[in-house]
Structure 1
Amino acid sequence: MKPVETSASLLELNKRELTLATTVLVGASTLVLGKYVYSALKNRGGASEEDQDSALVVNEERSIPDVMKAKSKDVVIIYGTQTGTSEDLAKRLSRSLQSDFSANPMVIDPQDFDVESLSRIGEDKIVVFLLSSTGDGEPTDDMVSWYNKIIPENTPTTDDYSSLEVPKFQVPESEEISPDYVYDKDKPLKNLTFASFGLGDSSYVDFNAHSKHVTRRLISLGATLLGPHGLGDGSKDTGADFAKWKDTVVPLIVDHIGLKPSSGSSAPYVPDWVITEINKNAPIYDKKKFVKFRFSNIENESDLPPERIKVDISNPWNSMVISAKHLTSPENEKSIVHIEFDISDSSMTYTTGDHIYLWPFNFDLNVDSLFSLMDVDPEQVINIVPNPDSTNSGSLPYSFNTYKNVLTFFMDVTTPTTQDTIKDVLMPNVKSQAGTEYLSKLVKDNDFYTEEIKKPLTSPGELLKKLISIETESNVPENERFKLQFDVLLSMLPRQSPRQYSISSSSLETPDKVSISVVVLKYKNVNGQNRYGVASNFIAAAVDVQIQKYGTLDGRAPSKIEPFDPSYSLRDKMLTTELVQNKDFRIPIYIRRSAFKLPEDPKIPVVMVGPGTGLAPFRGFVRERTQMLITGVEDLGATVLFFGNRHERLDFIYGDEMTDCFATLGKNNPDSKLFTAFSRDIPGKKVYVQDRVIENGDLVYKLLFEQGGYFYICGDGSRMA
């Protein structure tokens, strides 16, 4: 989603070119009008000179080379992630290096280390960067500190960085790099060899900007890039892009560190986690480190006032659900829901146009299917910590938990298992010939993997059941059959990643409440099996809880608890326990700043195109502009919204309130208008938002070109074009 600011160059376009340009949609959530993209300044606070000086004092626990030396590591893999994808790729790469080449890699979060220590990494070692971009090509939250130290704020993106001031790095001690190494203060990273892979989305104009900028900056500081700079495209297939890059770069990595492929079988399997079952009466058990629902990982949080609790991507806030409703008719083929959170008891604030990150809970079907394959009590309390012998560097928010809570709250039990995870985690734990042959074919035969796993979106549980059924049909002896262990399962599963949504409320109108609008995803796969969006159905279940608690939208109280598909045991508990009586249904969220904003000057007109749930941020914009009038702003520029869906009666979301808002806005400025397009209401004639834009080209032209307005679009580009 990007606002487009008019400029002198835009004035050269005629009205027809303008309206045609508005139909060019790039990607699933953004429109880019060629090169005319408004690039909002990023709010990045650079480190002060005093902070840089203090960082030059070596803290061995935060020094990459010191930790590598202490742990005998030869490869360090640094991920920058917003939702966990690059962290998962880092772990997969680490496992492959360890299994296939007996390398000693370690995976690190940049927040735990000092970027200034890169200058002391030995020439025979290698650093791998796997960096996601977020927002409009910005660094991820965990990379902001590093990024700000090596790339000054507002540095032109076309700069090759050769003219920038060189940041301060730690000066290597004598022979720390190599016997003949001489430190060069102008090229402080000439010791460093690195590989780089970015995760981005080509539908954004600043595709993979974070990774590109960091890579160029490291090279300008003297570092040597090993192999090609890989660029993963989330609008297509990041996994395939990563696999291609990995096949090219891994041989170069192992050659650089002086290793060869492991002879014979792969290295022994090492689980990522050490799991110990705990008696609640045992001295080791600490109730404060136990979680029943998903909470932040801040120790003794309940003892702190909200303003002292840091809320970020690593420490989400459990916000209370205070309002929820269905936005579409029950007859509609798709369900769209609205849910609202109270943030008044947190340190979080927001500005209209910001984003929410939300952590969903897994539904029962996928969780229970996994427990049916294991001989464990789901309610058993366990202590779970990273295995020091593995490449796993992360920990779960709470060290004490139950088997069921770990799978329900923290792990991704839905995403199909990757080929390298099958090879490095599952295959070493399978003894039978039949099972090994099946898994080996999945790993080696890409077409077979695509048909068996990728196309049907086969879940880890379904894969494991298929493996067990093959062994059963092949009459594999009982002592050779695969028995799923919990540590193996956890090593197979990625972390549950937060989902990002546009905030659909106005901070001017409701500063202590934020809302989102979500399409509930339910469909059949190629094999006719039910598939459910993890986050959207969890949100729909939360909406259902609210309706069951407080009655239906027309005020009628429900006569009984209705079933929900897919089922959530947590939902049923919410409807029958004290949590309901206390109106305390909480969901972990985090608010992140966005550059997708209204113009600072309210006199500037805005033109918005938002079909479907693309309306979400514009609902916030419209309510904000309406609230401006209510609070006394008199000279308000025109506000124009183009909204589209299939049927006016079934899925005109927020229809009544948008009509009311524009009645108010129109009284202040006659150019403020709401235009709608419902593609299935007129038999034989499909009308889309771009048709309405063209029909009203004179107005759009006047507001953008004659009055210098802003143009915004948000929605599913593949369905609007």
Structure 2
Amino acid sequence: MTLKQNNNLISPLGADQAAQLQQVVSQLSPNQLAWVSGYLYGLSAQDGAVAGSAAQPQAAAPAGQLTILYGSQTGNTKGVAQQAFDAAKAKGLNTKLVSMADYKPKDLKKETHVLIAVCTQGEGDAPDDAIELHEFLASKKAPKLADVKYSVIALGDSSYEFFCQTGKDFDERFAKLGATSIAPRVDCDVDYEAEAAAWIEDVIAKMSDELSAGVAPVAQAVVGSVAPAQASQYNKKNPFKATLETNQKITGRDSSKDIRHFEISLEDSGLTYQPGDSLGVWFRNDEKIVSELIEKVGLSADEKVKVADNEVTVVEALARHYELTLSHPGFVAKYAELTANADLAKLAEDRAALREYIDGRQIIDIVREHAAKLTAEQFLSCLRPITPRLYSIASSQAEVEEEVHLTVGLVKYDAFGEEHFGGCSGYLSERLEEGGEVEVFVEHSHFRLPEDTNAPVIMVGPGTGVAPFRAFVQEIDANELETPTWLFFGNPNFTEDFLYQVEWQDYLKRGVLNNIDLAFSRDQAEKVYVQDRMLEKAEELWQWLEKGAYFYVCGDASRMAKDVHDALVKIVAEQGGKSQEDAEAYVTELRKNKRYQRDVY
């Protein structure tokens, strides 16, 4: 029956409305019609019945709701959660996708069906947006979850000792609280896509059986996700071929560091970003390393091999598709097995010794020490897929428009008689010429300036960690905001390593930057770091916090971020007259309210 025919019956629609609706629904499939009907029913249930309309029979409600919780540091885990959400939506499930940072832990007791996607940061730590929920589940406040059915997918890196530890924690704690796992936890390494796809297919099918509903489920909701300001066709799987416009070294000739400032054109890409976002960069491995590997393993450069669904030459596979700079335990174990190398096999059995062995060694170093002939298929089976590197964006589009700026430290060191370079930093700094093409995409982040532009901002960013704060201050300046700002910056030497010195001095002179405290560790006998400067300014820093300041940290996770956190807690305890426990609670509350944010790596 068309809407025109239906209008002969009692209808609240006018002729024009009916015609417009008919035009829309005529283009929809039966599945889409069912979804739209559920969506409209959900709206009507929220807004109440239309006055004067005839009572209509209610559409069948879903048997329950599936909640997908994600904790993501770089965006990969969020991507897996989004894929699970899309798969659940395609099944017609009433589904909610929520960042753990935006989820109220006490709501767990209301859940019945939960999927958890979470990564592990560094040596077994939860990502920042998952910390609160992770701690809550281990506390006495955690509720019994006997009515909850769940599954966990954990993302990690087997190069680290505590591989996928956060995911293991969530799985263990849900089970301990009485929840029932509907599918075993899946622990994914850096090449996670295939395993993640299989997990999604499995758990969504099982959740669909659990939550089978009537023909009209209510609309799905996405909570706490950050969307780009403008849609673009370019993403991680379909990167934009951008132009490298500038490669400028910004540390001095005698500096112990080689830090580069890159400017990349995004013209005609449609890519947009906000201060705090990251730029993903796909890179090519060094051709010299590729050639040497081919020679030592006895491969043919022109032989065709299958990578994903494509056929490429061995040289192209090694240059573009496989990780050659970051060693990992799996490579040693598989290479030892295929080459029947007893020494490597013995080493692979000792986790501590193996990690010490691969520290500083690239794939080529291991092959040089233990050269052996393998087929292309055998050798490639030892390797992990190449992964793009994410760099904090060092610019604001309000200032630079269709450009993006990066601040990158070149990884360069001598080891085992050879000069070594980082995969992406070496590519950008040494092998990609200005004017050359580089494949990039934008990774959106939780790391954001306050919505209240009058809220003070405290930024702690030593070394290349200063990058997002350059973007923050550019944004504030370009939009002529009155945001009070305070920067803590550190590096080895004032004369060699004061990154963007002229810019900071100009911002300070014009009042865009209110305070700057510098920690150059090697300019005096006793080393001084950013956390030391914080403690020196403890009283004023506490006053800023009490006035509603937001506190940001960017940089090294293993030492700097922990030292800064400890200094922050100490300042709160001493200046606020609080116990250690109360000071920790104060800082936790800052984090809950998004007034304490970290971009650490």
Query: Across the two proteins, how many residue pairs are aligned to each other?
Result: 431
d(CA) in 1 for partners of 2:487 and 2:502? 14
CA deviations on 1:157-205 (whole Å, 9 max, x unpaired) are: 41464524xxxxxxxxxxxxxxxxxxxxxx789xxxx999853442744
Q: Which residue of 2 aligns with 1:328?
A: 251
Say if 2:322 is the partner of 1:384: no
Is 1:716 the equivalent of 2:556?
Answer: yes
State the shift of 1:515 in Å: 0.8
Relative distance call for 1:409 and 1:236 in structure 2 (3 A) is: closer
State the shift of 1:711 in Å.
Answer: 1.9
Change in 2 beyond 3 A, CA 1:243/1:352: closer
Match of 1:616 in 2: 467
For 2:398, the equivalent position in structure 1 comes to 508
- 1:484: which partner in 2? 374
Match of 2:349 in 1: 444
1:686 corresponds to 2:527: yes
Greater fraction helix: 2
Determine the structure 1 residue equivalent to 2:500: 654
The residue that corresponds to 1:3 in the other structure is none
Residue 136 (structure 1) shift: 8.3
| 1:246-275 deviation digits (Å, cap 9, x = unpaired) | xx9xxxxxxx9xxxxxxxxxxxxxxx9xxx
- Which amino acid letter does the alignment assign opposite residue 521 of structure 2? S
Identity of aligned residues (%): 25
CA distance in 2, matches of 1:232, 1:52: 40
Match of 2:317 in 1: 406
How far 1:501 moved relative to its partner?
A: 1.0
Q: CA deviation at 1:320?
A: 0.9
- Counterpart of 1:523 in 2: which secondary structure? strand
Question: Equivalent residue of 1:500, what SS?
Answer: strand
Consecutive unaligned residues in structure 2, runs of 5 or more: 1-29, 37-61, 87-93, 173-180, 182-193, 195-229, 564-601
Deviations 1:269-309 (A, max 9, x none): xxx9xxxxxxxxxxxxxxxxxxxxxxxxxxxxxxxxxx996
Rounded to whole Å, the distance in 1 between the matches of 2:471 and 2:551 is 16
Q: What value does the CA root-mean-square deviation take over the aligned residues?
A: 4.4
Give 5+ residue unaligned stretches, structure 1. 1-48, 56-115, 120-128, 165-186, 249-255, 257-271, 273-306, 386-394, 469-481, 547-582
Q: For each residue in 1:297-350, what CA deviation from the matched residue of structure 2 results, as whole angstroms up to 9, or x when unmatched?
A: xxxxxxxxxx99622222211111112211101211110001111112212111
CA distance in 1 between partners of 2:417 and 2:255 (Å): 21
Cα 1:232/1:411, change in 2 over 3 Å? closer
CA offset at residue 529 of structure 1? 5.0
Q: Map 1:130-529 to 2 at 5 A.
A: 133-135=71-73, 139-147=77-85, 150-153=95-98, 156-159=103-106, 161-164=108-111, 198-201=119-122, 202=125, 204-207=127-130, 223=149, 237-239=161-163, 310-379=233-302, 382=304, 384=306, 395=308, 399-419=310-330, 423=333, 425-426=334-335, 429-430=338-339, 435-446=340-351, 449-450=354-355, 453-455=357-359, 457-468=360-371, 483-525=373-415
Q: 1:626 matched to which residue of 2?
A: 477
- Decide whether the 8 Å contact of 1:132 with 1:200 is kept in 2: no
Q: What's the secondary structure of 1:142's corresponding residue? A: helix
- Cα deviation per residue 1:621-646 (whole Å; 9 max; x = unaligned)? 111222223xxx5xx13222121212
1:589 correspondence with 2:500: no
Post-superposition shift, 1:680? 1.9
Deviation at 1:374, TM superposition (A): 4.3
Cα separation, partners in 2 of 1:51 and 1:659, compared to 1, 3 Å? farther
Which is bigger in relative contact order (C-alpha 8 A, separation at least 6)?
A: 1
- The structure-2 alpha-carbon separation of the partners of 1:369 and 1:343, relative to structure 1 and needing over 3 Å to count, comes to same
Query: What TM-score does the superposition give when structure 2 sets the normalisation length?
Result: 0.61
- Aligned match of 1:599 in 440, 444, 450? 450
Deviation at 1:513, TM superposition (A): 0.8
In the alignment, which residue of structure 1 is the partner of 2:58?
Answer: none
Cα 1:687–1:234 shift into 2, 3 Å: farther
**Alignment pair present for 1:676 and 2:530:** no
Correspondence 1:540 to 2:429: yes
Deviation at 1:355, TM superposition (A): 0.9
The 3 A distance-change label for structure 1 pair 222 and 614 is closer
Superposition TM-score, scaled by structure 1 size = 0.52
Structure 2 partner of 1:701: 542
SS of the residue 2:296 aligns to: coil
Partners of 2:486 and 2:417 lie apart in 1 by 42
Deviation at 1:663, TM superposition (A): 1.4
Deviations 1:1-56 (A, max 9, x none): xxxxxxxxxxxxxxxxxxxxxxxxxxxxxxxxxxxxxxxxxxxxxxxx9869569x
Q: 1:330 to 1:135 in 2, by over 3 A?
A: same
Contact 2:257 2:409 in 1 (8 A): yes
